[in-house]
Chain A
Amino acid sequence: MPFDLTFLWQTFVSLLSGIPLALELAALSVATGSLLAFGLALMRVSRRWWLDLPARFYIFAFRGTPLLVQIYIIYYGLSQFPALRHSFLWPVFREAYWCALAALALNTAAYSAEIMRGGLLSVPAGQIEAARACGMARILLFRRIIVPQATRQMLPGYSNEVILMVKSTSLASTITIMEITGIAAKLISESYRPVEVFISAGAIYLSLNFIVARLFALLEWSLWPERRKNRLQSNIVEKKGELHA
């Protein structure tokens, strides 16, 4: 039988058990990566070359090389260094899980930093000047004026990055992590039925990312009150137009 529905269902169910690990990798790497990215973005916009330059180099290196290579370097490469093997970090970098997490986090930090930098730079200079003219100190200005506007400006780009990260967790399977793709590979080697297995895996990633995209849409909706209002109003106007037509 070329396409086995029962097997498809069984596969789907067994792949579900990989979801928690995939989500955990994605969530932890996005969380730590975003903290790192925030620091990098601040360095990029600091207008101090000795802060800007290291951040630029970091972003250049991590955006310019494949994530898979980064995972391999951390997992296979670091153990070549006796200094690391004998250090307190070894129990961490000995584990494939932590290596995958480190690679994912370092990688997303590079991309997210540029997204955040774009958000920070999008705040109109006049509004920053108005805040300064009101006597706002730098931190207050950053917190009250820049961050709220930068956040909502960067959300569409950042949601892309998070979706990419959910998919990138599949690369962790190459270093023995049994998340969705890891389990899928194992099932294929046992059954020789790649179509059903990969269709199931694809469907799971699709649904996860559907939820991620909706969550970001919701966040955007809640952070843009005036756009929300305008859209409601324009809908009303359109409906009226239809009635008249």
Chain B
Amino acid sequence: MPNVVRAAAVSLSGIRKNFGPLEVLHGVSLTAHEGDVVSILGSSGSGKSTLLRCVNMLEVPNSGNVSIMGEEISLDQRPGRAPRPADPKQVNKLRERAAMVFQSFNLWSHLTILQNVMEAPLHVQGRHRNECRAEAEALLERVGIAAKRNSYPSELSGGQQQRAAIARALAMRPDVLLFDEPTSALDPELVGEVLKVIRDLAAEGRTMLIVTHEMAFARDVSTRTVFLHQGLITEEGPTSEMFANPRSDRFRQFLRRDGASSH
């Protein structure tokens, strides 16, 4: 790898998050540089989805900082009350730069696929309608569902819906893509088509954070891997090293268990 200093695209430091009395993240720090594809692994309940949702403030950390593309999100974390962003406008601006793809797709059911993809560029970013339409159509072409542009989400298979959701995320021209278990709600035979799209995005050098259970995919696609256990990062590093030589017992166990279940 050429020895250049790349800017931090996403930087989390000392993230703590609790739901009521239960603390699910105990001070997690994580940096994704531009061009990094970071896999966030861990068993269920490890806090990996919560961590990802702290990046775009769908969950607001009780303490710790989040920066996106060098801009720190200002938070109101006074004790004794629910944490919240100090400036909702700033959060909305940063959410345009860090688009999210959800486990359950969450396409807007009253809009066609094309309208879903055009919605944010048109109404949030205020871009020109013709430009939005052309770009949306190109994106749908790219994820292979251009023929479905005038269908409604309920008419599509899960795999097609998730590809539409990826197009919707890309339509905002984000700097970072956040994937929250993008294939967990899919039938096994539909997983491949979605992973292929994500793989292509990784190959373009896009910055992505991916929470996933697909170990083989994480190993192939991600440049870095973070392993979360009970709200703490147990191990992290370049993906190839981590999978070849897991240092912690926890991650070794995790890999073994996954190996056992997939064969």
Contact = CB atoms under 8 A, between A and B. Distances in A.
A144 B104 CA distance: 20
Given A140-B124, A144-B119, A133 B152 contact: no
Contacts of A124: 106, 109
Interface of A: 124, 126-127, 129-138, 140, 144-145, 148-149, 152, 225-226, 229-230
Given A134-B99, A135-B96, A136-B92, 4 more contacts: A126-B104, A131-B108, A132-B58, A229-B152
Interface residues of B, number: 30
24 contacts: A124-B106, A126-B102, A129-B102, A130-B107, A130-B165, A132-B95, A133-B58, A133-B100, A134-B95, A134-B96, A134-B99, A134-B119, A134-B124, A134-B172, A135-B94, A135-B124, A136-B123, A136-B124, A137-B92, A144-B119, A149-B109, A226-B152, A226-B154, A230-B154
A133 B95 contact: yes
B110 A152 contact: yes
B120 A136 contact: yes
B142 interface: no
Contacts of A133: 56, 58, 95, 99-100, 102
B129 interface: no
A126 B92 contact: no
B172 A137 contact: no
Interface string B86-124: 001100111110011010111111100000000110011
A126 B162 CA distance: 14
A124 B102 CA distance: 14
Contact of A130 (B106, B123, B154): B106
Contacts of A131: 108
Given A134-B119, A229-B152, A129 B106 contact: yes
Residue among B93, B100, B108 with most chain A CB within 10 A: B108
Nearest to A233: B155
Interface in B32-56: 56
Contacts of A127: 106-109
Contacts of A148: 110
Contacts of B94: 135
A148 B152 CA distance: 15
Contacts of A130: 100, 102, 106-108, 165
Contacts of B109: 124, 127, 149, 226
Contacts of B165: 130
Nearest to B121: A134
Contacts of B105: 126
B244 to A, nearest CB: 35
Given A140-B124, A226-B152, A226-B154, A135 B172 contact: yes
